[in-house]
Structure formats: structure tokens, C-alpha cells
Amino acid sequence: MRELQLPGRTVLVHDYLNQFGGAERVLETMHALAPHSPVYTSMYEPDAMPEEYRKWDIRPTWIDRLPGVRTNHQLVLPVYPMAFERLRVPECDLVLSSSSAWAKMVRPPEGAVHVSYVHSPMRFAWAFDQYCERERLPAAARNGLRPLMAAFRWRDRATLDRVDRFVANSTVVRDRI
């Protein structure tokens, strides 16, 4: 059986690399399919990620340079959409994004195909009340964040046309998309 490889001019995009979980395991699989591809992300905390990532071509956005952002990334929540929308990926054939929030908002270069693996639509925006309960946010924080979550939902819808194909890991996620 032949080993599958993605086109040589593939770019990977991932929300953030400051914790390791299921989304990062998916990114590892994507990277194995396109091992020479750069990985664009909002931030990268090498100490929080597997050692193997240090061999990758990881290119964080300007968010990565903000003080304290790697440990308190929620503090800059309002600027994530802007960072990904303004991200300029190089000329390529395929943009492959791994997203639970922002990565799918990237603008692919003209002529490139954008395939987005969506782990889940941004739960904190689309299921805000459940998110607040789980995180035990006080009422004042909930009320203060409601307009921001409405803006995130609007932006999420407005950027859907940047993706040529969505991939979901379940019918539940597919239906949420």
C-alpha cells in the first residue's frame, strides 16, 4: 500500500498551540500527510507541546508576541478573528485548517482549495449559556460577553465562503456546522 501525501504546496492552519489534546492529534495526522508544510497558528508555546513539534515549521501570528497570552489566551479573545483574517499564507495549492474557532477564517490564496476539519463550531459562541455554566462565569461576565459572542457568531457565518469543503468527525458536528 502506498503512503498518502498531500500536495507539496500545502499550508496547515490551526487555532492555537498552547495545549495538547484531540485537535492537536488531528493536526499531527495532517502534518504527517504534509510534513514539509508550514503550520500557521495564533500562538505557539513549545513547552506545552510534544518535543516533535520543535522540528516543525510553526509560524505564529502577532498574537504570540503579546505579554501573557500563552497562559491567558482568553484575554485577547476579541482579536483572534482579525489575526486569522489578516493572516497571509503563501502561494499554495491546498490550505488545510484544523479549527474549533478561528483557523477556518483564514483567507486562502487565489486558486487554492481550502479544506477545514472542524472539531466543533466555536462552542463558547454558539452554546454560550452552556459554556458559561461549565466555566462558572459570574452573571456580570456573562452579560458583558454576550455582545462579543453575537459578533463572533456573525463573523463565523460571514467567513464560511472561504472554505471549499468542511470535514467533521461526527454527524453531531456535521449538523452543528
pLDDT at residue 172, rounded to an integer:
85
Rg (CA), the chain: 16
Inside any domain, residue 101: yes
Inside any domain, residue 67: yes
Inside any domain, residue 30: yes
> What cell numbers appear for 13 in the block?
492552519
Inside any domain, residue 132: yes
Over residues 25-62, the pLDDT tens digits come to 999 999 999 999 999 999 999 999 999 999 999 999 99
Residue 30's domain spans which residues?
A: 10-176
Quickly state the pLDDT bin for 108 (edges 50, 70, 90): very high
Q: Which of 107-116, 126-135, 151-160 is most confident?
A: 107-116
Inside any domain, residue 4: no
What distances in angstroms separate CA 123 from CA 8, 53, 111, 128, one per listed residue?
A: 33, 27, 31, 7
Over residues 7-22, the pLDDT tens digits come to 679 999 999 999 999 9
Domain count, the chain: 1
pLDDT at residue 50, rounded to an integer:
97
Inside any domain, residue 1: no
pLDDT at residue 1, rounded to an integer:
45
> What is the distance between the alpha carbons of residues 88 and 83, in angstroms, rounded to a whole number?
10
Residue 123: name the closest of 134, 115, 114 by CA: 134
What CATH number does the domain containing 48 carry? 3.40.50
Inside any domain, residue 158: yes
pLDDT at 102 over 80: yes
Average confidence (pLDDT) over 112-128: 86
Residue with the bigger pLDDT between 57 and 159: it is: 57
The rounded mean pLDDT for the chain is 89
Strand partners, 117: 98, 167
pLDDT at residue 134, rounded to an integer:
81
